[in-house]
């Protein structure tokens, strides 16, 4: 089956030009001006932007967490992602303490295989690093799971101590992988949560006040130092604030290197949302939202190449689930929905408002994640030989975000009523039109596991 996309304005991380794209089955086979071929399907993209499908390397689908499960499954989550222009996700799969990495891999494979609409891969969250876990790292890398997550927080549940963290870094380095980290000081956060609770301070605001900037700045610096000591490529997930970015900045000046991800919410929302009694639970996530000055630092960090990826940390919970913490902020399931909104929000707030260029948009929404996580150039760009994961985007169409119209399996939106400039019109996933005219045209189970390569790209 041949598909021809005509006259689109192609934007990649480096290029910006008008041309046609010819797709043979799943793969881009030619790009050029006025391609003279008879294709089975012709899509007119004149006046539209044609960009790589988004890659969201930080999502939590159907994840057991804080006594419940995140409410989007592989089926609903990857479908919603496609509606929002994201064609591939990397989900965090969790080792259960006392269990093997293989058992987590098998469990999540069972959830995703045959149910996902979009393509997916896994990061392995190591919650119990011991000699048996160490011996499994190589098998995971060989299976295409080349990134390993460490939590420096969630004490008593997911947290690794520094001894385990250094062991993990050493082994992952040896096997050619990368360690992603939730970098906040779990001991200090635990202390502050207990202190606030003992003082009867139980509202969502105290979730925010239990995770001050220093908890993130300290752990981000510590992680970078440990990663560099071991020589293991490191990646800080969901970095939110000036203090943490400055800890990284300081180390880059000493020739240390760590990749940094922020998430769309930290660029757009701020901690004033916690001041409205329990309603603030909608944005209870870890780390919490920060201040306006932090947003400015993050936008600048993107343009300074200190922040390479904008993800979502999509971890949705129904309002009913958030109510588990009505009387105690520490019981509110942490996370918020965004998988469907990231691409359009970043374009609207970033490109349309002149904060980032269209090329930078493509870099942080897709290309850099593909490079860092061993999927490039199969994913993350529009080039001959790449998977035809393509978004046809109208930069001039405006619309309003609402839980009434979104496709995520959750009954509120963190961005209710936001006006967005730019709309995902058509999405191709491996050559198939997956989304067109607000309809999903591929069957459940079309999504494939992405077996990722060893980490070799230095960006
Ligand atoms: O609040 C969050 N971030 N929930 C998901 C788990 C994590 O820390 O990424
Ligand atoms: Zn986290
Ligand atoms: Zn997360």
Q: From the CB of 285, is ligand 1 less than 6 Å away?
A: yes
Among protein residues, the one with the nearest Cα to ligand 1's atom 9 is 313
- The Cα-based distances of 322 to 183, 209, 287, 290, 410 in angstroms read 24, 18, 17, 20, 11
The pLDDT value given to residue 141: 97
Distance 422 CA to ligand 2 centre (A): 29
pLDDT digits (tens, 9 = 90+) for 364-378: 999 999 999 999 999
pLDDT digits (tens, 9 = 90+) for 375-393: 999 999 999 999 999 999 9
Contact 176, 147 (CB under 8 A): no
Average pLDDT for residues 380-407, to the nearest whole number? Answer: 98
Give the pLDDT band of residue 276 (cuts 50, 70, 90).
confident
Average pLDDT for residues 233-240, to the nearest whole number? Answer: 98
How many other CB atoms are there within 10 angstroms of residue 250's CB atom? 12
pLDDT digits (tens, 9 = 90+) for 63-98: 999 999 999 999 999 999 999 999 999 999 999 999
Distance 313 CA to ligand 1 centre (A): 6
Residue 13 has pLDDT above 80, yes or no: yes
Q: From the CB of 334, is ligand 1 less than 6 Å away?
A: yes
Residue 261 has pLDDT above 90, yes or no: yes
Q: 35-45 burial string, b = 16+ CB within 10 Å, else e?
A: eeeebeeebeb
Average pLDDT, the chain: 97
| Mutation choice for ligand 1 from 61, 207, 286, CB with most ligand atoms inside 8 A | 286
What are the residues whose beta carbons fall under 8 Å from the beta carbon of 437, sequence distance 6 or more? 425, 426
pLDDT digits (tens, 9 = 90+) for 303-342: 999 999 999 999 999 999 999 999 999 999 999 999 999 9
Give the pLDDT band of residue 455 (cuts 50, 70, 90).
confident
pLDDT greater at residue 456 or residue 8: 8
Among protein residues, the one with the nearest Cα to ligand 1's atom 1 is 285
The pLDDT value given to residue 458: 65
The pLDDT value given to residue 459: 65
Q: Is the peptide bond before 377 cis (omega within 30 degrees of 0)?
A: yes
Q: From the CB of 91, is ligand 1 less than 6 Å away?
A: no
Q: From the CB of 172, is ligand 1 less than 6 Å away?
A: no
Average pLDDT for residues 44-62, to the nearest whole number? Answer: 98
Q: Which domains does the chain carry? A: 53-372 (3.20.20.140)
Average pLDDT for residues 22-28, to the nearest whole number? Answer: 98
What are the residues whose beta carbons fall under 8 Å from the beta carbon of 140, sequence distance 6 or more? 101, 105, 124, 146, 148, 177
Residue 457 has pLDDT above 60, yes or no: no
Residue 51 has pLDDT above 70, yes or no: yes
Q: Which two tokens stand for residue 68?
A: 């419940």
Q: From the CB of 115, is ligand 1 less than 6 Å away?
A: no
pLDDT digits (tens, 9 = 90+) for 283-293: 999 999 999 99
Weakest mean pLDDT among 220-224, 324-328, 438-442, 451-455:
451-455
């Amino acid at each position: 089956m041949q598909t021809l996309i005509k006259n689109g304005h192609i934007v990649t991380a480096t290029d910006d030009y008008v041309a046609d794209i010819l797709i043979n089955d799943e793969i881009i086979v030619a790009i050029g001006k006025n391609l003279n071929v008879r294709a089975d399907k012709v899509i007119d993209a004149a006046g539209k932007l044609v960009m790589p499908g988004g890659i969201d390397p930080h999502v939590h689908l159907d994840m057991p967490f804080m006594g419940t499960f995140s409410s989007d499954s592989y089926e609903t989550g990857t479908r919603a992602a496609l509606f929002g222009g994201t064609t591939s996700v990397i989900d965090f799969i969790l080792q259960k303490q006392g269990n093997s990495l293989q058992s987590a891999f098998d469990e999540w494979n069972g959830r995703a295989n045959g149910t996902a609409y979009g393509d997916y891969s896994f990061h392995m969250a190591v919650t119990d690093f011991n000699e048996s876990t160490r011996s499994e790292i190589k098998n995971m890398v060989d299976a295409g799971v080349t990134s390993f997550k460490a939590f420096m927080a969630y004490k008593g549940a997911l947290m690794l101590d520094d001894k385990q963290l250094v062991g993990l870094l050493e082994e992952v380095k040896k096997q050619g992988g990368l360690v992603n980290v939730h970098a906040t000081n779990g001991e200090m956060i635990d202390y502050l949560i207990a202190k606030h609770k003992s003082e009867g301070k139980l509202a969502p605001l105290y979730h925010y006040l239990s995770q001050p900037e220093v908890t993130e700045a300290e752990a981000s610096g510590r992680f970078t130092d440990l990663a560099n000591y071991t020589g293991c490529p490191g990646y800080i997930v969901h970095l939110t604030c000036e203090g943490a970015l400055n800890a990284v900045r300081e180390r880059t000046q000493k020739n240390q290197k760590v990749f940094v991800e922020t998430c769309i919410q930290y660029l757009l929302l701020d901690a004033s949302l916690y001041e409205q009694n329990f309603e603030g639970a909608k944005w209870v996530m870890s780390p919490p939202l920060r201040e306006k000055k932090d947003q400015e630092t993050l936008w600048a960090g993107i343009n300074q190449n200190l922040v390479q990826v904008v993800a979502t940390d999509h971890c949705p919970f129904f309002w009913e689930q958030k109510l588990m913490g009505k009387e105690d902020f520490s019981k509110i399931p942490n996370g918020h929905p965004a998988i469907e909104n990231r691409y359009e929000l970043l374009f609207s707030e970033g490109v349309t408002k002149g904060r980032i260029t269209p090329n930078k948009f493509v870099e942080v929404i897709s290309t850099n994640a593909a490079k860092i996580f061993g999927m490039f150039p199969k994913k993350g760009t529009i080039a001959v030989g790449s998977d035809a994961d393509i978004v046809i985007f109208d930069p001039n169409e405006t619309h309003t975000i609402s839980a009434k119209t979104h496709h995520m399996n959750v009954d509120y939106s963190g961005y209710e009523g936001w006006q967005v400039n730019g709309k995902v019109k058509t999405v191709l996933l491996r050559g198939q039109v997956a989304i067109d005219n607000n309809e999903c045209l591929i069957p459940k189970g079309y999504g494939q596991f992405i077996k990722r390569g060893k980490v070799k790209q230095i960006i």
